[in-house]
Chains A and B, each alone.
Chain A
Amino acid sequence: MRLDPFLTQRLVKSLLWCLTGLTLFFLIFIIAFISVKGLPQVSFNFLFHDIEDMGRAGGIFPTIVSTIYLTMVALLIASPLGVGTAIYLTEYTREGWITKLIRFGAECLAGVPSIILGLFGFVLFVIKLNFGWSMLSGGLSLAIMVLPTIIRTSEEALKTVPQEYQDVCFSLGLSKWHTITRVVLPCALPGIMTGIVLSIGRAIGETAVVLFTAGASLRTPTSRFDSGRSMAVHFYILAREGLSMPNAYGTAAILIISILLINITAYTIMQRFLQKYS
């Protein structure tokens, strides 16, 4: 039996629309659920006050500081490493078994479960290098976690820069370094930034890695060797040990809203950038 093409078209369209709608529904449902449960807890005191009574009372200020601290350390380490690797892979080598090996390695790294990464960070940074449970150990471990994302997205971004731009630069007698820093990188920047923003989102929300490497101290970290709990870890401990569900939801709300805000800001900045350069 043959279906009427017009009918098929409408059927497929509504099916695809439903699938998209369902995806969106989950996203909106999660955000709404967390907001409704968590936002009533959020107040000035909640944001800027120390944790009291193991989290049953007080605010979450130390966890916000820890989260920012850990994410910054992770990005400061992973961005140059990742972007550098991507530049090397796309600009300084020809396709061969070495590039394939590096790419395969990065993909394997992306596939390592975060709990294993946490354990690895614990063994290497906390014990072996004696950084202890600290912002540094946590940041380094998070850096390893987001590195594959940054490499992958930067590489894709660099590949979209037309080869002609480089030919033009070389024909003007520009060195390879100038060509890359002045022309290729600016053109690839929106794509690279997307990767970095994605990584921020992952690093902020990561629990297992941080729990093993940064510890769960209640104090506000003031140096890179201080321990501290991130928002995600705080939420995990509050919920798991049944200390205070309202405060857990409050933390979750802040967490999810900050990730949303970061994504929106980055998107806006990127749009501005794109308009300026094209």
Chain B
Amino acid sequence: MNPVKIQVRDLTFYYGQHLAIDSLHLDVRQGEILGLMGPAKSGKTTFLRVLNRMCDLIPNSRVQGNVFLDNKDILALEYDVDNLRRRVGMVFAKPVPLPRSIYENLAFGPRLQGKEINSGILDDLVEKSLKEAQLWEEVKDRLHESALKLSGGQQQRLCLARTLAMQPEVILLDEPTSGLDPISTARIEETLTQLKKDFTIILVSNNTKQIARCSDKVAFLLMSRLIEYGITPEVFMVPKNKQTDDYISGRFG
């Protein structure tokens, strides 16, 4: 069994007075896809934002508990946040290509990491990342055109490739296929199963079937609390909790 990559212990998160995550307890193993599901406002996105400390940017927020990445507490004050975000990449629900060329979208992150990087290595990195995100074939002849000209599905894969180009260890995906057509969705899902060889992935999705298809473990959040957590087929076949059962079978949501 793979070693534990992320340990979440007693994680609690407040937006002002509003409790967004209530004492969450959960492990993610290396090379695993953890699916997070739950209705809107259940704390899924907030949880993702804690994992790479993007939550720091939210005014009036408060976080308690511990999150260990390779046994180091990332919520500790002295933890290097910029370094954390390079190790824990994030793809947002809405694809946001920067107003630059496709190539530049991928290259500018690695280039600003501090260490010198020669253009040959950078070219290889861009190609490798685009291939991993299954976008290479579609854009290889127009790498220097504006990224804003890509279609929605291509933009989403570009954003995934941009995250991959940073060579992270963990990838957080916040509804990466919302608003995409079935073909693009299938491509992204295929990509994810390819990627878990090298990365640990946490996937948030409103699409329970997608979670069932892609993830190894699944966590169900409801009203800021973890209701159920287990191996995906088991949870979907025989959910232990009545609320999980209701959610999966679409009786509320």
- 1/0 contact string of A59-92 vs chain B (CB within 8 Å): 0000000000000000000000000000000000
Q: How many angstroms from the CA of A187 to the CA of B94 in the assembled complex?
A: 19
A223 within 8 A of B: no
Known: A167-B57, A173-B86. 4 other contacts (CB 8 A): A162-B96, A171-B54, A173-B109, A278-B99
B38 within 8 A of A: no
Which B residues lie at the A interface, using CB under 8 A? 52, 54, 57, 59, 82-87, 89-90, 92, 94, 96, 98-100, 108-109, 112-113, 146, 148, 159, 162-163, 166
The residue on B at minimum CB distance from A276 is B146
What are 30 A-B interface contacts by the 8 Å CB criterion?
A94-B59, A164-B96, A167-B54, A168-B92, A168-B96, A168-B98, A168-B159, A168-B162, A170-B54, A170-B85, A171-B85, A171-B90, A171-B92, A172-B85, A172-B86, A172-B109, A173-B82, A173-B84, A173-B85, A173-B86, A173-B87, A173-B109, A174-B112, A178-B112, A182-B108, A182-B112, A183-B98, A187-B99, A277-B99, A278-B99
Q: Are A164 and B94 in contact (CB under 8 A)?
A: yes
List CB contacts (< 8 Å) of A172-189 with chain B: 172-175, 178, 182-183, 187
* Residue of A170, A171, A187, A277 most packed against chain B (CB within 10 A): A171
Residues of chain B within 8 A of A165, CB atoms compared = 96, 98
- 1/0 contact string of A261-278 vs chain B (CB within 8 Å): 000000000000000011
Residues of chain A within 8 A of B59, CB atoms compared = 94
Q: How many angstroms from the CA of A278 to the CA of B92 in the assembled complex?
A: 21
Q: How many angstroms from the CA of A277 to the CA of B83 in the assembled complex?
A: 29
Q: How many angstroms from the CA of A178 to the CA of B109 in the assembled complex?
A: 10
Residues of chain B within 8 A of A173, CB atoms compared = 82-87, 109, 113, 166
